[in-house]
Amino acid sequence: MQLNGAWRGIVNSKIERFEHTSLTIDEDRYLRLVTYAKLLDQTP
């Protein structure tokens, strides 16, 4: 199962947006990978 989306968290007292990706393999071949990457400000 792979899940993608956005996540918001507080860093240095500011709300920051992150891209979230999660990959999980079944229990017999257990593998779990979760990444968070800070989204860059898109405002001009």
1-44 pLDDT tens trace = 556 677 788 888 988 888 888 888 877 878 888 888 888 776 55
Q: Within a domain: residue 11?
A: yes
Round to whole Å and give the CA distance between 18 and 28: 31
Helices marked H in 1-44: none
Round to whole Å and give the CA distance between 29 and 44: 46
Q: What local confidence, expressed as pLDDT, does residue 38 receive?
A: 84
Q: What local confidence, expressed as pLDDT, does residue 3 receive?
A: 62
Domain count, the chain: 1
Instruction: Give the residue numbers spanning the domain of 16.
Output: 2-38
Q: Within a domain: residue 16?
A: yes
Q: Within a domain: residue 15?
A: yes
Q: Within a domain: residue 44?
A: no
Question: Judging by beta carbons within 10 Å of its beta carbon (0-12, 13-18, 19+), is residue 18 exposed, middle or buried?
Answer: middle
Q: Within a domain: residue 19?
A: yes
Q: Within a domain: residue 33?
A: yes
Q: What local confidence, expressed as pLDDT, does residue 34 receive?
A: 84
Q: What local confidence, expressed as pLDDT, does residue 35 receive?
A: 84
Q: What local confidence, expressed as pLDDT, does residue 1 receive?
A: 52
Q: Within a domain: residue 43?
A: no
Please give the model's pTM, rounded to 2 decimal places.
0.51
